[in-house]
Chains A and B, each alone.
Chain A
């Protein structure tokens, strides 16, 4: 009897913790997501699903809005090692707008286009995450693939494309195929690079890696130790040995320090698939004809 009471007490405590910790300040069911905005003391987060393991989409500290809280947003900054002065930036997948805001501060002269399919996410980013838009920073409510196709028709190009459209629950399969990557590649400027925030677990890892390699050749990747994120970095013209030499690591480190990004650490952790390929040579490619990304991710 005593034991049972004790168990009940612990259960209640656990339940309380999970509820009391983060206060939900906004809740919205959109066409694509269950959107939750939570406040946990100083920390404000955007979540796309309550129960999933990869719930937190975007977070910031209200007292220090510049600091990048999330591992993967920090990881994405490693793209600056390969292209330190991006003038035209395309971000696919807005989240809370953290990437856009950070890059705006780092490169006030740059032009940033944000593409987000969910109007509700755009609104939440504006209302709760201080997402800044102006003459140089635009937001388009559109499917990423359609935006890229239209941008190609308009003969545009970007120095840095950041693909951040995979939130872990449902993968837009048409954004993982060889044909899509070819379109994205065609949209890159001569020195342009593409960073993709994506997966490192599940069967999909090999398929995705093989597809990126087929389109771009060898690439860099950096993964987090703690969670399952990995960033793939590819460039329009492949990577030469000189890519890193031209970069003043110390200057970049000082520039990124206020955002809590340790670029030297990222630099050490970056792996070139030329030296270490962690998937089979015979892996099938993902194409518009064959893209069961969600089925592969579930297995």
Chain B
């Protein structure tokens, strides 16, 4: 049994918390996607076809990219950076969605393809990045190959549970209490803060270690 070199000093629970949050926000944003598109493309079933297809496609690519990225000197800092990037790429949904959807609406008559293109433009990039987090989390958590399956299982349990909760909370309560943009701003804020937290923890522990080796 070969040990995977993993000189981690951060608690596993941090990774699980971050994975939970990314699962929560992915589904929360997916659900709001329907409401964002409705004024231009209606609220029919093809809207959901477009949104779900785009989210599945981007997640699948995200998994692939995240797995690839995790092979090159994985670190908590890179993990945190992915969160930050995800947060930044979610901003256009708030800032430019109206003009983007208007342009698509004017250029594409068929609301099926219109909604597909619009959700591609709005949600593809942030969802790819959020999807990268799952395999990357596994890499950070696995200490030896024997437990890799169990760790992956536990991680998917936590992040999918987050998704379930994100769906329910958003559709039952958030949309009743808040407007769409403030909800998305909150997702962005939480993702960015957690990303910074991960980077911060990594930095402090590296300096700790450096100081230890100096003694």
Give the B-binding residues of A (Cβ under 8 A): 31-32, 117, 142-143, 145-146, 149-150, 153, 172-174, 177, 179-180, 287-292, 295-296
Contact = CB atoms under 8 A, between A and B. Distances in A.
B42 A145 contact: yes
Per CB-CB distance, the 5 closest pairs between chain A and chain B, nearest first, are A143-B42, A289-B179, A174-B38, A292-B176, A290-B179
Contacts of B180: 288-290
B42 A117 contact: yes
B35 interface: yes
Given A146-B111, A295-B176, A31 B44 contact: yes
A295 B175 contact: yes
B175 A143 contact: no
A180 B179 CA distance: 16
Given A31-B45, A174-B38, A290-B178, 5 more contacts: A31-B44, A172-B43, A174-B43, A177-B39, A291-B35
B40 interface: yes
B41 interface: yes
Interface residues of B, number: 20
A216 to B, nearest CB: 19
B208 to A, nearest CB: 46
Contacts of A172: 43
Give the residue among B42, B105, B111, B180 with the most A Cβ atoms within 10 A.
Answer: B42
A143 B111 contact: yes
Contact of A149 (B105, B172, B176): B105
18 contacts: A31-B44, A32-B44, A117-B42, A142-B42, A143-B41, A143-B42, A143-B111, A145-B39, A146-B41, A153-B106, A173-B38, A177-B39, A179-B39, A288-B35, A288-B39, A290-B175, A290-B179, A295-B172
B140 to A, nearest CB: 37
Contacts of A173: 35, 38, 43
B144 interface: no
B60 to A, nearest CB: 27
B181 interface: yes
A26 to B, nearest CB: 23
Nearest to A170: B43
Interface string B165-194: 000000010011011110000000000000
A207 to B, nearest CB: 11
Interface string B32-75: 00010011111111000000000000000000000000000000
B175 A180 contact: no
B155 to A, nearest CB: 33
Given A143-B44, A172-B43, A292 B105 contact: no
Given A143-B44, A149-B105, A287 B38 contact: no
Contacts of A292: 175-176
